Amino acid sequence: RPGVVVNCCWSLMTLLMHLGSADPDDRIPSHYLSARLPLLLQTLLQTGLGASAELGRLRTAAFEAMAGIVGTLPEDQLGLLPQLIGFCLEQPQWEQRPDLLPQFSALLQAAYRRLGRVEQPERVLGLVLGRLQQGEAAAEDLLLLLDTLLPLLEPRLIASHLSAMLGPLLGGCGQWS
């Protein structure tokens, strides 16, 4: 029953967001469910990845719950973020399941915001810009991810990729002119 699963995802997100803080400057050291967060995130990830396109509502709920949880992780669970980011970036779904790009983009945004830095910035920026230059259908989501990345990147890295960024950015702006 997908409706029950969707409601469970929303309730988990609400519960964990209530225990945590969406403000990255708030340093919540731990909370009652800290020890269970790895299992909760793994369960939500399996739910989201297992949902077919026909069950888009279920997939969306699972990924949004993960993003909400990730955005409010207590300090004792920040070690989960590099693993989660690595998992998202290694996924063959980037190539084989482009319908998942919006969900992975949102999850990566939440993780980078909470972590406050980008590990392997060249790789991440190359992946995002490569997909944008291909005219990716999920360009809106990838541009939001790029927007999250930019303040966390070193200026020299941005400068070295500026021409690759300007094409999709100016092209996107030109769609409305």
Residue 93 confidence class, pLDDT cut points 50, 70, 90 = low
Q: How open is the CA angle 113-61-35, to the nearest 5 degrees?
A: 60
Q: Which tens digits make up the pLDDT trace of 110-143?
A: 999 999 999 889 999 998 998 888 776 778 888 9
pLDDT of residue 14: 86
- Per the prediction, the chain carries an average pLDDT of 85
Residue 177 confidence class, pLDDT cut points 50, 70, 90 = very low
Tokens encoding 50:
């297992």
Contact (Cβ atoms closer than 8 angstroms) between residue 67 and residue 109:
yes
- Could you tell me how many helices (H) and strands (E) the chain has, helices first? 10, 0
Lowest mean pLDDT segment, chosen from 22-26, 60-64, 120-124 = 22-26
